[in-house]
Structure 1
Amino acid sequence: MIRSARPAMTRSPSLTGSLVGAVLIWALAALVWASAARAQDGEMIVSHGYSFYGDLSYPPDFPHFDYVNPNAPKGGEIAFSALGTFDSMNPYSRKGRAGTLSWMIYESLLGEMPAEGGSAPADAYGEAYGLLAERVEYPASKEWVIFHMRPEARFSDGTPVTAHDVLFSHNLLLDEGLKSYGDAVRKRIPNAEVIDDHTIKFFFAEGISRRSLIDQVGGVPVYSKAWYEKTGYGLDESRLDVSPGSGPYMIDSVDVNRRIVYKRNPDYWARDLPINVGRHNFDTIRVEYFGDENAAFEAFKAGEYTFRTEGNSRQWATAYDFPKVNEGLIVKKELPDGSPPTPSGIVFNLGREVLRDKRVRQAVALGFNFEWTNESLQFGLFKPRASFTQDTKLMAEGVPQGAELAFLKSLGDVVPAEMLTEPAVVPHESNADRLLDRRNLRRAMKLLDEAGWPVGDDGLRRDAQGQPLRLTFLLNSAGSSTLRAVVENFLSNLEAMGIQVTLEAVDASQYTSRERDRDYDMVYDSYAAFLGTGTGLAQRYGSEAAEYSLFNPAGLASPMVDAIIEASLLAQSAEEEDTTLRALDRALRYEFFMIPTWYNDSFWVAYYDQYEHPQVLPPYALGFLDFWWYNQDKAEALRAAGALR
């Protein structure tokens, strides 16, 4: 129903004595590897792309990505909706609410999917190919990296993209970007220098994992140094003026809170590169803003915009029975999604004293009835999500065994004993026939009693000081009406437990501000799924930035999770990496900072029948703004039928 991102390495806080021993074992393995790498310092790696293990799917002379249509026509428009408001076109501001896709106009040294995020290609995980950089050079030890840039690269104002712009952008993000990002990256990347106008070198800190270093600097969005120096703007300001980007699209028009139009740059410098063949096919991309979901859906039916990714199960099941769909003017279909589902759910703010007791969180979770919710509110369209790596080889199942068990034991007493002998945590089951499952209610009541929140004479849960157990749930009022119904029914079950609950539905701008300030007890939010390790795991799930990281809405700070992430970064084979990440999934579920809700293994899309896509879609992206294309004949037929405004 709600779909939902990666970046940085931080060190764990204090570790127990047993854990120190375990980390020493892994550090010894890393030193052996590092020594071997230094012995190969004479071997320089020069490549057209980068992956940690060096196993690129595409050779240097690849003509295009396998999944694109290299003959896709250019032209036409695609339009989709956004909910709420925006007051800035600067996507990196720490204030205000940025316009949808405002980051799309920028490029990096290594290529990305400009509209949907993530790396390109969309059919290989953990690989990136040169975009602003034509080749990457580094020693086997990965102590530094040199990017050799394409001299033909240009910003949309015609000025060249140089190594000076790259260095400027790197430093700007450190100084004025998110604090969690800057703190983490400075420790890992202490220095960078421009060798010449089209060559830049980054140096990496000693004694740390080589993970997420080359791809980190290779993914930095590049801004125009000259523009920032001329205007005097800062990166962290909320503003409508933006620096020129070098990407395939640039801003055409902005009508605040109503519409944003991006146009394909006719002079785009990289349009013929193999990495871009068959991509960026629309002349314009239009974003229409609406105050709420109902208004957006009615506008789609009227033809005010043309493409819709549906996230509301009720609408998917019942609302598409209207003439344009029945007559074939609108295509409604499910398309496969090969990515692990986004770990969305009801997130607990672990900074709240009352929620630091896991028994309270477990009791609250028992108020969520997935089975009833799915059947009564979501038409049975979803599956219950248990894992942060759901339905992948990294999903922890049952009791830990073999290499995973040995790894967890090596971490010592930082790992609770029950984690070694009990199955991975899975969601509770509930009665689908009634919202309030009395068996789960009794379990929840017992947990709350044990946690020191007995029921008072007035039926409310109170602590020893007589203070009632109160919880607030923050909700975006512009979001899905079905989600609101789910939350309201969940909260009614909490009231039955004797908990005082308040639903605080606020507008989009307030919601964004309060999320940043972590001003909630509970919120429906997401973390990032993972298929491989990287220092972004520490920024999402680690302790060091837990108090302020926007990527860690629960404020999770677990020495066990820190230790597993650090060990994963030191893994020197795919098998070792998989073992540590399976343990990470198990540990995250054990910490219980989120009530997992549901997932869908398909994309639900509806669009006016003027778009086409490759017959076989890549596993890691829908790509409707990237490698779909416009059919002019079909578009004219729609207009002749009066289907579009």
Structure 2
Amino acid sequence: MRSIVLLTTALAATPALAAAPADVPTRHGLALYGDPALPADFDHFPHADPDAPVGGTLTRSANGSFDSTNPFIIQGTPASGLNAIYDTLMVANPDEPFTMYGLLAEGIRLDPDRRWIEFDLDPDARFHDGEPVDAADVVFSFETLTEKGQPFYAAYYADVSDVRVVDENTVHFDLADSDSRELPLILGQMPILPAHYWEDRDFERPTRDALLGSGPYRIEEIDPGRRIVYERVDDYWGKDRPVNRGRHNIGRLVYDYYRDQTVALEAFKAGNLDMRIESSARNWATAYDFPAAEGGFVRRLEVPDGQPAGMQAYVLNTRRDIFQDVRVREALNLVFDFEWLNQNLFYGAYERTHSYFENSEMAAKGLPSDAELALLEPWRDDLPARVFDTPLPIERPDDGRARLREALALLHAAGYENRDDGTLVNTETGEPLSFEVLLYDTQFERVVQPLLRNLSRLGVQGDIRIVDVNQYLNRLRRFDFDVVVGSFPQSANPGNEQREFWGSEYADAPQSRNLIGLADPAIDALVDDLIAADSREALDTAARALDRVLRWGFYVIPQWHLGSTRIAVWDKFGWKEPFPEYNLDLDAWWVDPERGAEIEARQRNR
């Protein structure tokens, strides 16, 4: 057993006026608002079956390639599924909006004023090599991830002022921002790394080693760029913890890599893949009429999604000069013809996205409420007047030609004119208005082409550049693009991650999720208001104010959303219904032994 250095006592270093840990009750879980729905003695999550059979294989596809098994750093392209080898302090219940229950942490103490939080680790917790998971590992993980990991971690945990060992199984976090309600919960999401394993290794360099964790799976096989396989840990220390009972049932998780989604679809139809989460409306409508599906060997599910739809969009890189004028950005929004796409390419499957918090109460509508105005007024001189006096959603002419005329007028007002040959050029420099849409998947090319055709009618030169996924990720990390198809996913309880989406300090941080390049004090302040919200009503208000400012900035061209997840599976899996309300939990699925054997026999005899 490794020795532990007692750095200090929690009480001695606790901020003034904060409660002493000894006076705070120990809990089994935390909810963002109110109390956890499940009692301290709950046996398993309601959507999990503790009697589910164990074994079998789930083979899925992954896009492109990979060259690293370290998912936490800037360098390298990490393999899919690596989260399965790591445990976290707490686990979210997908049937509650945002409630975390203890995993590595068997007990949690939160200061009533949210100035600190302590976690008591389960003394039985072990890494896969048999070494105990202790408080020093938690401190190591926090410091390593925030100092050497992707910018996400520094943003997510920016308001932690100190972390320290109390004793071998107790770790204490001081919270600089006691107004952030979600900070204690998201600390529970942190993957815990083995300090002893990394002692003589360079954390910041990509590796293809089978890294050490403490989770329900370990890496069994690595074929760089082609396949990674995880095997279930039979003597997993946490298999009987309530958050795990009836979960992690499948014996092997396999990710096979395909550079083209069309090939991946054919692999599924041939039985080489067990599951496919379908992103193409055309495929969903037309590609699943093959013999195995007609014979009842393949099932298709549409699982309702209880989370906000978030924002999928063409992201305009405002670091580029051509996108710094809001009139240019607004014109490009007018050119996008969702209705034509939905009718002609998507079989009417989607709805147009307007809000960054679409499909939720956080989406801004109409004019600002009095509560929103209280947040927006200090920035009135810095924000567009339409934020205050024009209702949402933003009105657009129904007629496509009228939209193009309006877009061209905006471009002319922004300092562009059409030459005799129709090309749109800058009146001062003579440079044509042109940009490139960067893609890594040929499947999306047909979706971009109609946008470029409409732009060409205005004299704008648009091109598509398709690169392999590794080059795509490298360019994304350096913000070396004009336009990409990006997404800003949202939960029912947005918080600290909003800093990395929109915050000034991440505008130039490599690999941050501030793809737009936003650096706006008003937006920074609204993000702080959202994080500090102390009630559901305050959170909704702050999100609406932020949503309103982002939408009137025209920083992206919103695309579309679907209120469910489309899943096609070979019919060998079992699960409990109803599905959890807020998130799909594939970890609670299992392979039915009889049905699995029947499917496998069919594949062998094809």
Q: TM-score range by the shorter chain?
A: over 0.9
In structure 1, distance between residues paired with 2:130 and 2:16: 46
Per-residue CA deviation, residues 382-435 of structure 1 (Å, 9 max, x unaligned), is: 11111122121111111223433444336554444322221124474655xxxx
Residue 556 (structure 1) shift: 1.9
Question: Could you say which residue in structure 2 is the equivalent of 1:456?
Answer: 419
After superposing the two structures, state which structure 1 stretch, 37-46 or 420-429, moved more.
37-46
Root-mean-square deviation (CA), in Å?
2.2
Residues 1:52 and 1:83: Cα distance change in structure 2 (over 3 Å): closer
CA distance in 1, matches of 2:532, 2:198: 39
Question: Cα–Cα, structure 1 residues 43 and 196, in superposed 2: closer, same or farther, change >3 Å?
Answer: closer
* 8 Å contact kept, 1:414–1:559: no
Measured in 2, the distance between the counterparts of 1:533 and 1:261 equals 33
The residue aligned with 1:138 is 110
In structure 2, the residue matched to 1:290 is 258
Classify the secondary structure of the residue corresponding to 2:53. Answer: coil
Look up the SS of the partner of 1:448 in the other structure. helix
3-state SS in 2 of match to 1:537: helix
Asked if structure 1 preserves the Cα contact closer than 8 Å seen for 2:230 and 2:253, the reply is yes
The Cα offsets for residues 441-492 of structure 1, whole Å up to 9 and x where unpaired, read as 111110000000111233211111211112111111xx252x2101122112
Instruction: Report the secondary structure of 1:366's partner residue.
Output: helix
8 Å Cα contact 1:303/1:644 also seen in 2:
no
For 2:115 and 2:351, the matched residues in 1 are separated by 45
Deviation at 1:184, TM superposition (A): 6.8
Would the aligned equivalents of 1:45 and 1:139 in 2 still touch at CA under 8 Å? no
Q: Which amino acid aligns with 1:178?
A: Q
In structure 1, the partner of 2:292 is 324
Cα distance between partner residues in 2 of 1:101 and 1:128: 21
Instruction: State whether residues 367 and 493 of structure 1, in contact with CA within 8 Å, keep that contact through their aligned partners in structure 2.
Output: yes
Aligned to 1:204: 175
In structure 2, distance between residues paired with 1:135 and 1:198: 10
* Greater Cα shift, 441-450 or 237-246: 237-246
Distance 1:179-1:608 versus aligned 2 partners, 3 A rule:
closer
The farther-off stretch of 54-63 and 418-427 is: 418-427
Query: Counterpart of 2:482 in structure 1: which amino acid?
Result: D
1:107-186 superposed matches below 5 A: 107-111=87-91, 120-179=92-151, 181-182=153-154, 185=157
Range 528-537 or range 490-499, more displaced: 528-537
* 4+ runs deviating over 4 angstroms: 35-43
| Aligned pair partner of 1:336 in 291, 294, 304 | 304
Distance 1:37 1:422, change over 3 A: farther
CA displacement, residues 190-239 of structure 1 (integer Å, 9 cap, x when unaligned): 3221122111111222x66333432243222111111111xx22222111
Q: Which residue of structure 1 aligns with residue 194 of structure 2?
A: 224
User: Quick check: 2:372–2:541 contact (8 Å CA) kept in 1?
Assistant: yes
Which residue in 2 is equivalent to 1:67?
47
Q: Is the 8 A contact 1:278 1:627 kept in 2?
A: yes
Structure 2 counterparts to residues 544-555 of structure 1, below 5 A: 544-548=505-509, 550-555=512-517
Task: State which of 560, 576, 581 in structure 2 corresponds to 1:619.
Answer: 581
**Letter paired with 1:131:** L
Please give the alpha-carbon distance, in whole angstroms, between the structure 1 residues aligned to 2:16 and 2:393.
Answer: 40
1:362 corresponds to which of 295, 318, 330: 330
Structure 1 residues 402 and 182 mapped into 2: Cα distance closer, same or farther (>3 Å)?
closer
Answering whether residue 406 of structure 2 is matched by residue 443 of structure 1, we say yes
What do residues 522-577 of structure 1 show as CA deviations (whole Å, max 9, x unaligned)?
Answer: 10011122422422211212222122252111112232222222222333222222
Letter in 2 for 1:182: A
* 1:425–1:586 Cα contact (<8 Å) kept: no
Q: 1:428 to 1:458 in 2, by over 3 A?
A: same
Give the one of 543, 556, 559 matched to 1:581: 543
- Contact 1:339/1:620 (8 A) holds in 2: yes
Report the Cα distance in structure 2 between the residues aligned to 1:525 and 1:213, rounded to whole angstroms: 26
Structure 2 residue runs without a partner (length 5+): 1-14
- For 2:72, give the aligned amino acid: Y
Structure 2 letter corresponding to 1:475: L
Distance 1:420 1:520 in 2: 32
**Comparing 552-561 with 398-407, which one deviates more in the overlay?**
398-407
Between Structure 1 and Structure 2, how many residues are aligned?
A: 590
Scaled by the length of structure 1, the TM-score of the pair is 0.87
Offset from partner CA, 1:584-614 (integer Å, 9 cap, x none) = 2222212221111111112111111111221
State the SS of the aligned residue for 1:442.
Answer: helix
Residues 155 and 497, structure 2, Cα contact 8 Å, conserved in 1: no
Given that residues 27 and 109 in structure 2 are in contact (C-alpha distance below 8 angstroms), is that contact kept between their aligned partners in structure 1?
A: yes
What does 1:167-566 correspond to in 2, within 5 Å? Answer: 167-179=139-151, 181-182=153-154, 185=157, 188-205=159-176, 209-229=179-199, 232-409=200-377, 412-426=380-394, 428=396, 437-463=400-426, 464-476=428-440, 479=441, 481=443, 483-548=444-509, 550-566=512-528
SS of residue matched to 1:201: strand
Give deviations 1:98-121, integer Å, cap 9, x for gaps: 11112321112112xxxxxxxx21
Quote the Cα distance in structure 1 between the aligned partners of 2:592 and 2:152.
44
Aligned twin of 2:590:
629
1:341 CA drift (Å): 1.4
The answer to whether the 8 A contact 1:88-1:99 is kept is yes
SS state at 2:84 partner: coil
Identity of aligned residues (%): 37
Structure 1: stretches of 5+ with no match in the other structure: 1-34, 112-119, 432-436
Given the superposition, is the C-alpha separation of residues 394 and 612 from structure 1 closer, same or farther in structure 2, using an over 3 Å criterion?
same
SS at structure 1 position matched to 2:218: strand
Alpha-carbon distance between aligned partners in 2 of 1:644 and 1:562, rounded to the nearest angstrom: 61
Indicate conservation of the 8 Å contact 1:532/1:581, yes or no. Answer: no
Report how far residue 621 of structure 1 moved.
2.0
Displacement of 1:189 in angstroms is 2.0
Q: Distance in 2 between matches of 1:73 and 1:553?
A: 44
| CA separation of 1:351 and 1:209: change in aligned 2, threshold 3 A | same
Deviation at 1:38, TM superposition (A): 5.3
- In structure 1, C-alpha distance between the alignment counterparts of 2:531 and 2:104, rounded to whole Å: 27
- For 1:603, the equivalent position in structure 2 comes to 565
What is the DSSP-based 3-state SS (H/G/I as helix, E as strand, rest coil) of the residue aligned with 1:190? strand
2: CA distance, partners of 1:70 / 1:586: 45
> Structure 1 residues 360 and 192, CA, compared in 2 at 3 Å: closer, same or farther?
same
Q: Distance in 2 between matches of 1:427 and 1:155?
A: 56
